[in-house]
Structure 1
Amino acid sequence: MMRPLLLLDFDGPLNPHRAKEIPPGYSRHEIVEGTKTWQVLLNPRHGVELNSLAEVFDLVWATSWEHGANRLLGPRLGLPELPVIVWPSRTPVLRGSWKTPYVAEWVGDRPFVWVDDEVGRDDQAGFGDRQVVYAVDPGIGLGDADFATIRGYGYSFAGKEFRPHD
């Protein structure tokens, strides 16, 4: 049986870029590459949680940062190099996220949890029962309850009993 995928958007879930102030546990980081500079909010606990989820899932970047996520973001979170979904274009779609058709093609029928701040019911409609589109508030980012829920999905996909850690 193939392991489920955890598809990770960065801006929103891991960088709560719509937060009115810096949320607890986060700190501001300046990322510079060449002539470009980005301000992001990072929580070191996210790296710990994601590395733990790698016991259940195969982690994949599903972010507009594309390969830049491995160069610029993953090392700051303590993540290994991950596969990347490359977006051929950002063609608008009638319903849902512009990413959805590309995610569908990339994952096929493999089980997954896709974590993104720009997804909703319309995006979920095109996927199967073991394929979960998980929306995250870009003003808050991923929290402990989200990680527990995602872990629960991973265990259910693998047919294992999930016991939240205390």
Structure 2
Amino acid sequence: MEASALTLLFLDVDGTLIPFGAPRPYPVFEAPFGAPPAEAVAHPLLDRVDPALGPRLAGLGCDLVWATTWMEDANVCLSPWLGLPRLPLVDWPGEEDDGGGPAGLHWKTRPLVDWAGNRPFVWLDDEITDVDRAWTAAHHLAPALLHRVDHRHGLTDADFAAVAEWLRLRLSGAPAAP
């Protein structure tokens, strides 16, 4: 089995798929995969999500997993918008539960490392810090790429290039930069 087939890709929504905070108008997209469900049409920010991201994410060859507080709404609204199948969801213990980690550790970090088990993973989020990277390196034995996305723009070509390069290096057996 290819190494990338074993790699999980944990995907955040707000700031990662839905850009916010930039001092400019955002592009507005229409769903290209037929009529989105009523819940999706009613969501006020969904049209900021570029539907072309779905095929690009699927094309990375990873097992995609929603890592967002959207929970099932990610499957109801975003998966059809992006042309993706229903994805597994990380079940959060609660945002307030930091699990006793070091100061600055994101509340998602420990649950994602636990969810991954011994599998390599990529985590795309707009709130990742060096504290999360260091904690993951110390507590997760498999390779992991914690990639911070600029919330003002969401996923860009540069983000996809960074993930693809990390995956390529992992497949080649070369050491990948964190």
TM bracket, shorter-chain basis: 0.7 to 0.9
Q: Is the 8 A contact 2:18 2:45 kept in 1?
A: no
Question: Structure 1 residue 14 and structure 2 residue 21: aligned?
Answer: no
Percent of aligned pairs sharing the same letter = 38
Q: Which residue number in structure 1 is paired with residue 121 of structure 2? A: 112
* Aligned counterpart for 2:144 among listed residues 112, 116, 131: 131
- Using the size of structure 2 for normalisation, the TM-score is 0.77
1-structure distance, mates of 2:125, 2:37 = 21
The equivalences for 1:43-54 within 5 A come to 43-53=50-60
Q: Which residue number in structure 2 is paired with residue 39 of structure 1? A: 45
Q: Is the 8 A contact 2:125 2:149 kept in 1?
A: yes
The equivalences for 1:58-97 within 5 A come to 58-91=63-96, 93=98, 94-97=103-106
- Using the size of structure 1 for normalisation, the TM-score is 0.82
Q: Is the 8 A contact 1:6 1:115 kept in 2?
A: yes
2-structure distance, mates of 1:32, 1:96 = 37
State the AA in 2 paired with 1:9: D
1-structure distance, mates of 2:80, 2:22 = 23
For these two proteins, the number of residue pairs brought into alignment is 157
Q: Is the 8 A contact 1:70 1:82 kept in 2?
A: yes
Instruction: Answer 1 or 2: which has greater strand percent.
Output: 1
Q: Unaligned 5+ residue runs, structure 2?
A: none
Shift of 1:21: 2.7
Instruction: Answer 1 or 2: which has greater helix percent.
Output: 2
Q: Give the CA RMSD over aligned residues.
A: 2.6
